[in-house]
């Protein structure tokens, strides 16, 4: 059975099975204590199935086979599973098609099967691995005020969290800070000094200790810069070991635990083989740079840190990651564009909490831990080698010695509700993961430090009484326990008085000095750690002792409850073998019992009191979305691409007679500014037009001729947009600005680029991305106001989220042209936001073909074989031309690509006004209201509430009229009608 077709039916079947289990559960509860044991088993089954329904697209076959056996338990003996695996020719053929059976016959047998399983012996129940009740969902009214006792009773010595001496993390950080300086680019020194290789520290939820060493996995970028003519490069995987034998090993709470196979290899160079550095080769800084530059393939280079120097251990270790040659993906984008299951949310939350605890009092925590600094590495999966995926393996973006982003352990600011920003940052991460979006990271740049801290602390307190948070688990009592554990762990991070001293300590300050590692009697009686003299203002010694006390509280109040939640549902294995995170799809709506808890409210993104809303209803206000993510089936894509080619041909043929008329000597060409991800100057289509391209230099806030400037495009989006403008506006000057930082659009850069473009007298600004939240009065809003004041037309993409969200910002801003998408026949695209009663402009945005950098991976949908002519991004091409001579093209869909085409239509009108109308009319056309009126006149009657913008030569179209005077009269009438 086809998996894509089966998944929705499978989800519905599992939901129905969960409902059957809950009905049986209520019957057992009503029957009294005699059936309490059966009720516990049925609660466990219900909980498992409800969680499975949220991730039915990624369930293992073994789980489904066991589920079938559970449904048929009354028919077959407990040895049934063994017979299934030994005899593939079972009558139901469950091994080959368990999904098909579940979708068709599950309900028929489930009632008797569940009842039989619940009443059989514990030994028989253990036959099923996934449904065995050794750790069942229990009916426990969790005492939220005494969560520590509950946790202590649950965790055993087998669940170890190992710690290592302070000098381990310090030596590693110091050594890598020195070695990360790039020695191969001394002629390209930044204003802040020597360039550094970008680095990512892999975060793990399991032990990082093995033998006498602490183990760290890191990814270093081969080159610290990305020049315009240079491909991305590669990520070099490193495994670093640091000796922990200078002092005794500290144990965080439990007994010794062996490192997992995923984290530490058993090769002969594994840290178990303790060797003296006398036998190892010392690596120089130049040698380290050379090591990173050379692409060794998917392997981990093993190094040892000793005395803040690096030594080569010789043979490398195998790796569990095949990293793609691409930028890492921030958590902001993952929460926006990817579907995190409940299991992934818990695994990710626990891993981040454990990592913050592990690095809390070290240099690794001196820079911000935010949704932007937590990143995921794109990986080439062994099953699908052509397109990168991401797995639930978080990494931390390391910024060695970044003086602009220092996060102290203690914040000595007045009038703030929380004094420990590192703890608060962890709370914000857990909060966003629990929501499934990254809204609460939005205050980082919009407010002063005091305001940001108080805003974040308030956001954490708001969810205390919110029944819809966290969005983890399912809507029954079993899922309630998971949510209680996650919620309490998160709320601890927002408690500004978490580390407050007890009354006895405050009254007896002198006797508490120097005893921060011990607890006074009052602290012991209340089960709290004495932290009075941990106030970092007291002394350096007190600060050290206090930080360790706070780490202990962090461990007991945050890390261990999250670990308990993982253990409760048996998801510890996902720490070693993480799941792939699927992309969100607006076409797949999951049916889940949890949906009953999620209330829907009217959402107004510009209202401050709606600062929190669901992942389907918003994006992070400081993270823009590029609206290029729409997928079309192959059969539909082929047809729509051919229709687009015809549409474009008609546009160019219609515009050509008007463009042939030369501009007056006093008139300059129309200028269009493109704010996007950059530009690939080496692309064949771009190289031919470099003389009319200007590039934004953000360091000096000015545009320079493209021949004398450096710009790159690691995403391809900007090159695609510029290629369209060069093709449709044949003599316009194009001003290109890369407004991204690490792949994310930056509000400050956008604002500077807009102001600079306006100062360079551009006529039109094209913005193919948007924010869901407007920040009142910020620099970006003021820059757009400046553009409107100077009579510069701003075109912005509407969004691709369909009815799930409204128009993005600035597309919905007054005075900005909001552009929707249609197919080549003028039919509105399904991914458009809901149309408004006011003017809705749209133009072709489906199957749009344009330039694409060769070094950027292409989506499979863009590779279309038309019979080997090499056109349209096809992999086949005419044998007479080499592959290098064929421009790289890609077919994309989204309002991102309708926007530059609409901007070119406006540019055509501005040029037409210069050559065919009076100067006063041409000047009036610079006003927003006038351009809007002329565009409506050009589009003709509305089609399904949209004004479809196009340029056609048929008589029904404005520019298809035979008499040129008719065109002028209609345009002048539209100008006058605008008032």
The residues annotated as belonging to the active site are: 676, 717, 896
Cα–Cα distance measured from residue 178 to residue 779, given in angstroms and rounded to the nearest whole number = 37
**CA-based angle 672:673:679, to the nearest 5?**
115
Cα–Cα distance measured from residue 777 to residue 781, given in angstroms and rounded to the nearest whole number = 6
**What is residue 430's three-state secondary structure?**
helix
Instruction: Decide: 822 and 842 in contact? Cβ < 8 Å.
Output: yes
Residues across the chain: 979
Could you tell me the two tokens for 533?
A: 């003299």
Write b or e for each residue in 88-116: b if 16 or more Cβ atoms lie within 10 A of its Cβ, otherwise e.
Answer: eebebebbebbbbbbbeebeebbbebbbb
Cα–Cα distance measured from residue 816 to residue 809, given in angstroms and rounded to the nearest whole number = 10
User: Got the DSSP string for 705-755?
Assistant: EGGG-----SSSHHHHHHHHHHHHSTT-EEEEEE-EETTEE-HHHHHHHHH
Instruction: Decide: 224 and 184 in contact? Cβ < 8 Å.
Output: no
Cα–Cα distance measured from residue 800 to residue 828, given in angstroms and rounded to the nearest whole number = 12
Cα–Cα distance measured from residue 426 to residue 448, given in angstroms and rounded to the nearest whole number = 19
CB burial class (10 A; 0-12, 13-18, 19+) of residue 633? exposed
Instruction: Decide: 241 and 215 in contact? Cβ < 8 Å.
Output: yes
Task: Give the C-alpha distances (Å, rounded to integers) separating 425 from 220, 367, 372, 452.
Answer: 25, 11, 12, 11
CB burial class (10 A; 0-12, 13-18, 19+) of residue 851? buried
CA atoms within 13 A on the CB side of 319: 25
**Strand 671-676 to 764-767 pairing:** parallel
**Strand 199-202 to 329-330 pairing:** unpaired
Cα–Cα distance measured from residue 237 to residue 292, given in angstroms and rounded to the nearest whole number = 9
Could you tell me the two tokens for 192?
A: 């802040």
Task: Number of helices (H) and strands (E) in the chain: give both, helices first.
Answer: 28, 25
Instruction: Decide: 615 and 335 in contact? Cβ < 8 Å.
Output: yes
Please, which residues have CB within 8 angstroms of residue 528's CB and are 6 or more apart in sequence?
Answer: 502, 519, 553
Could you tell me the two tokens for 8?
A: 């929705």
Q: Which residues pair with 843 in a beta bridge?
A: 821
Cα–Cα distance measured from residue 738 to residue 753, given in angstroms and rounded to the nearest whole number = 9
Task: Give the C-alpha distances (Å, rounded to integers) separating 357 from 351, 427, 485, 555.
Answer: 10, 12, 18, 7
CB burial class (10 A; 0-12, 13-18, 19+) of residue 406? exposed
Instruction: Decide: 916 and 836 in contact? Cβ < 8 Å.
Output: no
Q: Which residues pair with 943 in a beta bridge?
A: 946
Could you tell me the two tokens for 898?
A: 């309708």
Cα–Cα distance measured from residue 473 to residue 481, given in angstroms and rounded to the nearest whole number = 9
Instruction: Decide: 823 and 876 in contact? Cβ < 8 Å.
Output: no
Strands (E), 166-247: 199-202, 209-210, 213-221, 235-243
């Amino acid at each position: 059975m086809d998996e894509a077709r089966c998944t929705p039916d499978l989800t519905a079947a599992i939901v129905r099975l969960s409902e059957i289990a809950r009905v049986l559960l209520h019957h057992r509860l009503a029957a009294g204590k005699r059936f309490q044991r059966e009720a516990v088993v049925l609660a466990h089954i219900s909980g498992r199935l409800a969680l499975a329904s949220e991730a039915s697209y990624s369930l293992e076959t073994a789980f489904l086979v066991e589920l079938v056996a559970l449904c048929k338990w009354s028919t077959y003996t407990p040895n049934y599973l063994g017979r299934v695996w030994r005899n593939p020719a079972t009558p139901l053929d469950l091994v080959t098609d368990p999904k098909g059976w579940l979708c068709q016959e599950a309900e028929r047998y489930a009632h008797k099967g569940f009842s039989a399983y619940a009443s059989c012996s514990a030994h028989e129940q253990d036959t099923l691995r996934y449904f065995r009740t050794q750790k069942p969902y229990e009916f426990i009214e969790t005492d939220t005020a005494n969560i520590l006792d509950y946790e202590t009773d649950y965790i055993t010595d087998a669940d170890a969290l190992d710690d290592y001496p302070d000098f381990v993390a310090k030596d590693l950080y110091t050594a890598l800070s020195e070695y990360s300086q790039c020695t191969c680019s001394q002629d390209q020194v930044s204003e802040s000094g020597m360039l550094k290789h970008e680095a990512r520290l892999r975060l793990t939820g399991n032990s990082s200790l093995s033998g006498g060493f602490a183990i760290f996995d890191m990814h270093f970028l081969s080159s610290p810069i990305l020049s315009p003519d240079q491909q991305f490069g590669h990520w070099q995987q490193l495994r670093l070991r640091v000796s922990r034998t200078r002092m005794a090993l500290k144990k965080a709470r439990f007994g010794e635990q062996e490192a997992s196979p995923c984290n530490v290899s058993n090769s002969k160079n594994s840290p178990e083989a303790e060797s003296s550095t006398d036998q190892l080769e010392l690596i120089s800084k130049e040698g380290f740079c050379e090591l990173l530059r050379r692409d060794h393939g998917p392997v981990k280079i093993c190094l040892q840190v000793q005395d803040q120097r690096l030594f080569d251990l010789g043979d490398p270790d195998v790796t569990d990651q095949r990293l793609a040659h691409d930028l890492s993906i921030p958590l902001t984008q993952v929460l926006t564009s990817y579907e995190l299951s409940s299991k992934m949310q818990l695994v990710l939350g626990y891993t981040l909490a454990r990592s913050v605890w592990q690095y809390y009092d070290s240099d690794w925590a001196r820079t911000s831990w935010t949704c932007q600094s937590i990143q995921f590495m794109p990986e080439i999966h062994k099953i699908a080698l052509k397109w990168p995926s991401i797995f639930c393996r978080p990494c931390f973006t390391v910024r060695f010695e970044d003086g602009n982003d220092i996060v102290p352990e203690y914040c000595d600011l007045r009038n703030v509700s929380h004094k420990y920003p590192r703890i608060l940052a962890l709370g914000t991460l857990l909060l966003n993961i629990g929501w499934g979006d990254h809204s609460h990271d939005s205050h980082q740049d919009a407010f002063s430090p005091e305001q940001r801290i108080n805003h974040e602390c308030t956001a954490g307190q708001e969810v205390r009484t919110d029944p819809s948070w966290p969005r983890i688990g399912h809507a029954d009592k079993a899922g309630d326990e998971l949510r209680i554990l996650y919620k309490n762990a998160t709320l601890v991070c927002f408690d500004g008085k978490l580390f407050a001293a007890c009354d006895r300590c405050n009254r007896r300050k002198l006797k508490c000095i120097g005893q921060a590692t011990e607890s006074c009697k009052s602290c012991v009686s209340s089960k709290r750690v004495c932290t009075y003299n941990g106030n970092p203002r007291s002394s350096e010694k007190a600060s050290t002792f206090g930080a360790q006390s706070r780490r202990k509280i962090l461990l007991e109040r945050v890390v261990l409850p999250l670990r308990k939640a993982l253990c409760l549902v048996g998801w510890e294995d996902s720490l070693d073998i993480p799941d792939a995170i699927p992309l969100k799809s607006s076409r797949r709506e999951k049916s889940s019992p949890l949906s009953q808890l999620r209330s829907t409210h009217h959402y107004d993104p510009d209202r401050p009191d709606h600062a929190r809303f669901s992942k389907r209803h918003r994006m992070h206000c400081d993270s823009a979305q590029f609206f290029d993510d729409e997928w079309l089936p192959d059969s539909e894509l082929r047809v729509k691409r051919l229709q687009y080619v015809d549409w474009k041909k008609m546009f160019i043929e219609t515009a050509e007679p008007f463009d042939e008329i030369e501009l007056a000597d006093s008139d300059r060409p129309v200028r269009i500014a493109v704010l996007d991800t950059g530009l690939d100057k080496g692309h064949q289509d771009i190289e031919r037009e470099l003389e009319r391209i200007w590039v934004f230099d953000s360091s000096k806030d000015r545009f320079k001729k493209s021949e004398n400037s450096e710009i790159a495009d690691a995403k391809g989006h900007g090159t695609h947009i510029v290629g369209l403008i060069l093709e449709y506006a044949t003599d316009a000057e194009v001003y290109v600005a890369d407004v991204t930082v690490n792949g994310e659009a930056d509000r400050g850069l956008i604002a500077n680029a807009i102001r600079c473009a306006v100062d360079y007298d551009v006529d039109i600004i094209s913005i193919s991305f948007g924010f869901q939240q407007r920040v009142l009065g910020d620099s970006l809003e003021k820059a757009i106001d400046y553009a409107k004041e100077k009579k510069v037309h701003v075109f912005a993409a509407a969004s691709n989220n369909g009815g799930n969200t409204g128009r993005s910002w600035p597309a919905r801003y007054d005075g900005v042209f909001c552009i929707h998408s249609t197919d080549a026949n003028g039919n509105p695209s399904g991914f458009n936001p809901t149309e408004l009663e006011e003017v809705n402009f749209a133009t072709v945005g489906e199957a749009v073909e344009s330039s694409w950098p060769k070094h950027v991976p292409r989506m499979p949908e863009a590779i279309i074989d038309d019979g080997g002519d090499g056109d349209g991004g096809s992999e086949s091409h005419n044998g007479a031309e080499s592959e290098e001579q064929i421009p790289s093209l890609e077919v994309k869909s989204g309002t991102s690509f309708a926007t530059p085409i609409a901007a070119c239509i406006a540019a055509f009108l501005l040029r037409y006004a210069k050559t065919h109308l009076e100067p006063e009319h041409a000047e009036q056309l610079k006003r927003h209201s006038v351009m809007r009126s002329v565009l409506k006149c050009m589009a003709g009657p509305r089609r399904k509430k949209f004004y479809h913008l196009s340029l056609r030569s048929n008589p029904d179209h404005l520019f298809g009229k035979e008499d040129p005077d008719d065109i002028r009269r209609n345009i002048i009438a539209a100008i006058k009608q605008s008032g």
